[in-house]
Amino acid sequence: MENTERTNGTGAIDRRQYLKLSGAAGIAVTGLAGCLEGSGSDSPDPDDEDVIVPGTAPGFPPFEIKEGGDLVGFDVDLLEAVVGETEYELAEWEEQEFDGLSPALEDGKIDVIAAAMTITEERQETFEFTDPYHSADQAILVQTGSDLQPESLEDLEGTTVGAQSGTTGAGLVEDDLIDPGLVAEGDYNSYDNYVLATEELESGTIDAVVLDDPVAETFASDRNVEVAFIEETGEEFGFAIRPDDGDLLEALNEGLAAVRESGEYDEISDEWFSG
Protein backbone atom coordinates (compact mmCIF):
# COMPACT_ATOMS: atom_id res chain seq x y z
CA MET A 1 0.00 0.00 0.00
CA GLU A 2 1.19 3.44 -0.89
CA ASN A 3 1.87 5.59 2.18
CA THR A 4 0.20 9.01 2.27
CA GLU A 5 1.35 12.00 4.33
CA ARG A 6 -0.27 11.63 7.74
CA THR A 7 1.72 13.93 10.03
CA ASN A 8 0.99 17.34 11.48
CA GLY A 9 4.57 18.54 11.45
CA THR A 10 5.46 17.01 14.81
CA GLY A 11 5.38 13.38 13.76
CA ALA A 12 1.97 12.79 15.37
CA ILE A 13 -0.97 11.71 13.25
CA ASP A 14 -3.37 14.51 12.41
CA ARG A 15 -6.63 12.58 12.76
CA ARG A 16 -8.59 15.75 13.61
CA GLN A 17 -8.65 17.05 10.05
CA TYR A 18 -9.66 13.64 8.75
CA LEU A 19 -12.53 13.13 11.16
CA LYS A 20 -13.83 16.68 10.73
CA LEU A 21 -13.85 16.50 6.96
CA SER A 22 -15.07 12.94 6.56
CA GLY A 23 -18.71 12.07 6.89
CA ALA A 24 -20.79 9.07 6.12
CA ALA A 25 -20.01 9.37 2.43
CA GLY A 26 -16.30 9.17 3.06
CA ILE A 27 -16.66 6.12 5.25
CA ALA A 28 -19.32 4.21 3.34
CA VAL A 29 -18.03 0.91 2.09
CA THR A 30 -19.00 -0.17 -1.38
CA GLY A 31 -18.60 -3.91 -0.96
CA LEU A 32 -15.52 -5.99 -1.39
CA ALA A 33 -13.21 -3.48 -3.00
CA GLY A 34 -9.48 -3.32 -2.51
CA CYS A 35 -8.02 0.03 -1.56
CA LEU A 36 -4.59 -0.27 -3.09
CA GLU A 37 -3.89 1.74 -6.18
CA GLY A 38 -3.39 -0.31 -9.25
CA SER A 39 -3.57 -4.07 -9.70
CA GLY A 40 -0.85 -4.54 -12.25
CA SER A 41 1.61 -7.37 -12.71
CA ASP A 42 3.58 -6.28 -9.63
CA SER A 43 0.65 -7.01 -7.33
CA PRO A 44 0.84 -10.33 -5.45
CA ASP A 45 -1.31 -13.06 -6.97
CA PRO A 46 -4.04 -13.96 -4.43
CA ASP A 47 -4.15 -17.48 -5.88
CA ASP A 48 -0.57 -18.03 -4.70
CA GLU A 49 -0.65 -20.12 -1.52
CA ASP A 50 1.89 -17.79 0.08
CA VAL A 51 -0.26 -14.72 -0.60
CA ILE A 52 -2.96 -13.90 1.95
CA VAL A 53 -5.92 -11.59 1.44
CA PRO A 54 -6.53 -9.29 4.44
CA GLY A 55 -9.97 -7.96 5.27
CA THR A 56 -11.04 -5.03 7.42
CA ALA A 57 -13.91 -2.61 8.09
CA PRO A 58 -13.09 1.12 7.71
CA GLY A 59 -14.81 3.59 10.00
CA PHE A 60 -13.10 2.52 13.23
CA PRO A 61 -10.38 5.11 13.88
CA PRO A 62 -7.56 4.87 14.68
CA PHE A 63 -7.57 1.14 13.86
CA GLU A 64 -8.84 1.35 10.28
CA ILE A 65 -10.01 4.44 8.40
CA LYS A 66 -10.12 5.81 4.87
CA GLU A 67 -7.88 8.84 4.39
CA GLY A 68 -7.60 10.52 1.01
CA GLY A 69 -9.02 7.39 -0.59
CA ASP A 70 -6.44 5.15 1.06
CA LEU A 71 -6.95 2.61 3.79
CA VAL A 72 -4.77 3.44 6.81
CA GLY A 73 -4.70 2.79 10.54
CA PHE A 74 -3.10 0.86 13.37
CA ASP A 75 -4.37 -2.55 12.22
CA VAL A 76 -3.24 -1.89 8.66
CA ASP A 77 0.28 -0.91 9.67
CA LEU A 78 0.58 -3.67 12.24
CA LEU A 79 -0.55 -6.51 9.99
CA GLU A 80 1.74 -5.31 7.21
CA ALA A 81 4.65 -5.24 9.64
CA VAL A 82 3.79 -8.68 11.04
CA VAL A 83 3.46 -10.28 7.60
CA GLY A 84 6.74 -8.61 6.61
CA GLU A 85 8.41 -10.83 9.20
CA THR A 86 7.04 -14.00 7.56
CA GLU A 87 7.35 -15.78 4.22
CA TYR A 88 3.83 -14.70 3.30
CA GLU A 89 2.80 -11.69 1.22
CA LEU A 90 -0.29 -9.51 1.51
CA ALA A 91 -2.66 -9.13 -1.42
CA GLU A 92 -4.83 -6.04 -1.76
CA TRP A 93 -6.97 -5.23 1.27
CA GLU A 94 -10.65 -6.14 1.01
CA GLU A 95 -13.19 -3.89 2.72
CA GLN A 96 -16.50 -4.91 4.28
CA GLU A 97 -18.88 -3.73 6.94
CA PHE A 98 -17.75 -5.28 10.21
CA ASP A 99 -20.49 -7.91 10.42
CA GLY A 100 -19.65 -9.02 6.86
CA LEU A 101 -16.04 -9.92 7.69
CA SER A 102 -16.77 -13.24 9.41
CA PRO A 103 -18.79 -14.64 6.47
CA ALA A 104 -16.10 -13.43 4.07
CA LEU A 105 -13.45 -15.31 6.05
CA GLU A 106 -15.56 -18.45 6.26
CA ASP A 107 -16.24 -18.34 2.51
CA GLY A 108 -12.56 -17.93 1.67
CA LYS A 109 -12.94 -14.45 0.19
CA ILE A 110 -10.35 -13.23 2.68
CA ASP A 111 -7.69 -15.07 4.69
CA VAL A 112 -7.28 -12.89 7.78
CA ILE A 113 -9.41 -10.32 9.60
CA ALA A 114 -7.56 -7.26 10.90
CA ALA A 115 -10.33 -5.12 12.34
CA ALA A 116 -9.88 -4.67 16.09
CA MET A 117 -11.83 -7.90 16.52
CA THR A 118 -12.28 -8.96 20.12
CA ILE A 119 -11.34 -12.54 20.93
CA THR A 120 -14.50 -14.17 22.31
CA GLU A 121 -15.49 -17.75 23.08
CA GLU A 122 -18.27 -17.53 20.51
CA ARG A 123 -15.92 -16.42 17.75
CA GLN A 124 -13.37 -19.04 18.76
CA GLU A 125 -15.94 -21.70 17.90
CA THR A 126 -15.57 -20.65 14.26
CA PHE A 127 -12.11 -19.08 13.91
CA GLU A 128 -8.61 -19.23 15.27
CA PHE A 129 -7.08 -16.07 16.69
CA THR A 130 -3.49 -14.96 16.91
CA ASP A 131 -1.98 -13.96 20.20
CA PRO A 132 -3.64 -10.73 21.43
CA TYR A 133 -2.13 -7.54 20.02
CA HIS A 134 -4.22 -4.88 21.81
CA SER A 135 -6.61 -4.54 24.73
CA ALA A 136 -9.65 -2.34 25.30
CA ASP A 137 -12.70 -1.65 27.44
CA GLN A 138 -16.07 -0.21 26.42
CA ALA A 139 -16.70 3.53 26.59
CA ILE A 140 -19.97 5.44 26.69
CA LEU A 141 -20.00 8.56 24.51
CA VAL A 142 -22.43 11.43 25.04
CA GLN A 143 -22.78 14.88 23.50
CA THR A 144 -20.37 17.45 24.89
CA GLY A 145 -22.20 19.48 27.51
CA SER A 146 -25.23 17.18 27.43
CA ASP A 147 -27.62 17.11 30.37
CA LEU A 148 -27.08 13.35 30.31
CA GLN A 149 -23.90 12.63 32.26
CA PRO A 150 -24.09 8.91 33.14
CA GLU A 151 -21.59 7.37 35.50
CA SER A 152 -22.78 3.76 35.15
CA LEU A 153 -24.89 1.61 32.85
CA GLU A 154 -27.85 2.04 35.20
CA ASP A 155 -27.78 5.76 34.49
CA LEU A 156 -28.63 5.00 30.83
CA GLU A 157 -32.10 3.79 31.80
CA GLY A 158 -34.73 5.22 29.46
CA THR A 159 -32.23 6.64 26.97
CA THR A 160 -31.69 5.97 23.27
CA VAL A 161 -28.33 4.31 22.55
CA GLY A 162 -26.39 3.29 19.47
CA ALA A 163 -23.62 0.86 18.55
CA GLN A 164 -22.06 -0.70 15.47
CA SER A 165 -23.68 -3.98 14.49
CA GLY A 166 -21.68 -7.12 15.17
CA THR A 167 -19.36 -5.48 17.71
CA THR A 168 -18.85 -6.14 21.40
CA GLY A 169 -20.36 -2.71 22.00
CA ALA A 170 -23.58 -3.96 20.43
CA GLY A 171 -23.35 -7.06 22.60
CA LEU A 172 -23.02 -4.94 25.74
CA VAL A 173 -26.11 -2.94 24.77
CA GLU A 174 -28.13 -6.08 24.21
CA ASP A 175 -26.91 -8.00 27.28
CA ASP A 176 -26.53 -5.21 29.85
CA LEU A 177 -29.03 -2.58 28.77
CA ILE A 178 -31.85 -4.19 26.77
CA ASP A 179 -32.10 -7.57 28.54
CA PRO A 180 -32.32 -6.02 32.05
CA GLY A 181 -34.95 -3.59 30.75
CA LEU A 182 -32.87 -0.44 31.15
CA VAL A 183 -33.24 0.45 27.47
CA ALA A 184 -36.20 -0.50 25.30
CA GLU A 185 -35.34 -2.56 22.24
CA GLY A 186 -36.93 0.13 20.08
CA ASP A 187 -34.57 2.69 21.60
CA TYR A 188 -31.46 0.89 20.35
CA ASN A 189 -30.08 2.00 16.98
CA SER A 190 -27.65 -0.28 15.14
CA TYR A 191 -25.22 1.24 12.63
CA ASP A 192 -22.93 -0.05 9.89
CA ASN A 193 -20.04 1.93 11.37
CA TYR A 194 -19.28 4.16 14.33
CA VAL A 195 -18.85 7.33 12.27
CA LEU A 196 -22.56 7.21 11.48
CA ALA A 197 -23.42 6.49 15.12
CA THR A 198 -21.29 9.39 16.35
CA GLU A 199 -22.79 11.78 13.82
CA GLU A 200 -26.29 10.91 15.06
CA LEU A 201 -25.09 11.41 18.62
CA GLU A 202 -23.82 14.88 17.70
CA SER A 203 -27.15 15.74 16.05
CA GLY A 204 -29.12 14.58 19.10
CA THR A 205 -30.85 11.68 17.35
CA ILE A 206 -29.54 9.34 20.05
CA ASP A 207 -28.37 9.96 23.61
CA ALA A 208 -25.28 7.75 23.87
CA VAL A 209 -22.97 5.47 21.89
CA VAL A 210 -21.23 2.37 23.24
CA LEU A 211 -17.87 1.54 21.66
CA ASP A 212 -14.25 0.52 22.32
CA ASP A 213 -12.46 3.12 24.43
CA PRO A 214 -9.52 3.86 22.07
CA VAL A 215 -12.00 4.66 19.30
CA ALA A 216 -14.16 6.68 21.66
CA GLU A 217 -11.15 8.78 22.69
CA THR A 218 -10.38 9.47 19.03
CA PHE A 219 -13.92 10.71 18.37
CA ALA A 220 -13.90 12.76 21.57
CA SER A 221 -10.75 14.57 20.46
CA ASP A 222 -12.25 15.58 17.12
CA ARG A 223 -16.01 15.86 17.50
CA ASN A 224 -18.61 17.42 19.76
CA VAL A 225 -18.76 14.33 21.99
CA GLU A 226 -17.13 13.22 25.23
CA VAL A 227 -16.50 10.01 27.12
CA ALA A 228 -18.92 9.83 30.05
CA PHE A 229 -17.40 6.71 31.64
CA ILE A 230 -15.54 3.50 30.90
CA GLU A 231 -17.13 0.11 31.47
CA GLU A 232 -14.26 -2.30 32.13
CA THR A 233 -14.58 -5.39 29.97
CA GLY A 234 -10.94 -6.48 29.58
CA GLU A 235 -11.26 -7.24 25.87
CA GLU A 236 -8.31 -8.36 23.76
CA PHE A 237 -7.98 -7.98 19.99
CA GLY A 238 -6.49 -10.62 17.71
CA PHE A 239 -6.15 -11.32 13.99
CA ALA A 240 -8.71 -13.97 12.98
CA ILE A 241 -8.04 -16.79 10.49
CA ARG A 242 -9.75 -20.01 9.46
CA PRO A 243 -9.14 -22.98 11.79
CA ASP A 244 -7.48 -25.03 9.06
CA ASP A 245 -4.72 -22.43 8.51
CA GLY A 246 -2.38 -23.63 11.25
CA ASP A 247 0.78 -22.71 9.36
CA LEU A 248 -0.50 -19.17 8.86
CA LEU A 249 -1.41 -18.89 12.53
CA GLU A 250 2.07 -19.94 13.59
CA ALA A 251 3.67 -17.52 11.14
CA LEU A 252 1.54 -14.57 12.28
CA ASN A 253 2.27 -15.27 15.94
CA GLU A 254 5.99 -15.46 15.23
CA GLY A 255 5.77 -12.27 13.16
CA LEU A 256 3.90 -10.48 15.94
CA ALA A 257 6.52 -11.53 18.47
CA ALA A 258 9.28 -10.29 16.16
CA VAL A 259 7.58 -6.92 15.67
CA ARG A 260 7.22 -6.52 19.43
CA GLU A 261 10.83 -7.49 20.08
CA SER A 262 12.21 -5.12 17.46
CA GLY A 263 10.32 -2.15 18.89
CA GLU A 264 8.31 -1.65 15.70
CA TYR A 265 5.08 -2.43 17.56
CA ASP A 266 5.74 0.48 19.93
CA GLU A 267 6.51 2.78 17.00
CA ILE A 268 3.22 1.92 15.31
CA SER A 269 1.32 2.35 18.59
CA ASP A 270 2.93 5.73 19.21
CA GLU A 271 2.01 6.83 15.70
CA TRP A 272 -1.68 6.04 16.06
CA PHE A 273 -2.35 6.51 19.76
CA SER A 274 -0.18 9.53 20.56
CA GLY A 275 -3.11 11.90 20.89
Does a structural domain hold residue 45?
no
pLDDT in the model for residue 49: 81
Report d(CA 2, CA 209) in Å as an integer.
Answer: 33
* Structural domain range at position 104: 51-133+238-273
Q: Would you put residue 9 in left (φ > 0), alpha (ψ -120 to 50) or beta? A: left
Same domain? For 244 and 255 the reply is: yes
pLDDT in the model for residue 42: 59
Same domain? For 160 and 198 the reply is: yes
Angle at 90 between CA 35 and CA 63, to 5 degrees: 60
pLDDT in the model for residue 47: 72
Q: What is the 3-state secondary structure (H, E, C) of 167-211?
A: CHHHHHHHHHHHCCCCCCHHHEEEECCHHHHHHHHHHCCCCEEEE
Same domain? For 144 and 98 the reply is: no
Asked whether 113 and 60 are in contact (CB, 8 A), the reply is no
Q: Is the pTM of this model over 0.85?
A: no
Does a structural domain hold residue 141?
yes
Listed residue (180, 177, 138, 179) closest to 160, CA to CA? 177
Per the structure, how many domains does the chain have?
2
Give per-10-residue mean pLDDT for the chain (275 aa).
36 38 39 40 70 95 93 98 97 95 96 97 96 97 96 97 95 97 97 94 97 94 95 96 95 98 96 82
Distances (CA, A) of 155 to 37, 141, 183: 47, 13, 10
DSSP symbol at 155: G
Same domain? For 128 and 244 the reply is: yes
CATH number, domain at 71? 3.40.190.10
Amino acid at 237: F
Same domain? For 215 and 255 the reply is: no
Does a structural domain hold residue 27?
no
pLDDT in the model for residue 275: 57
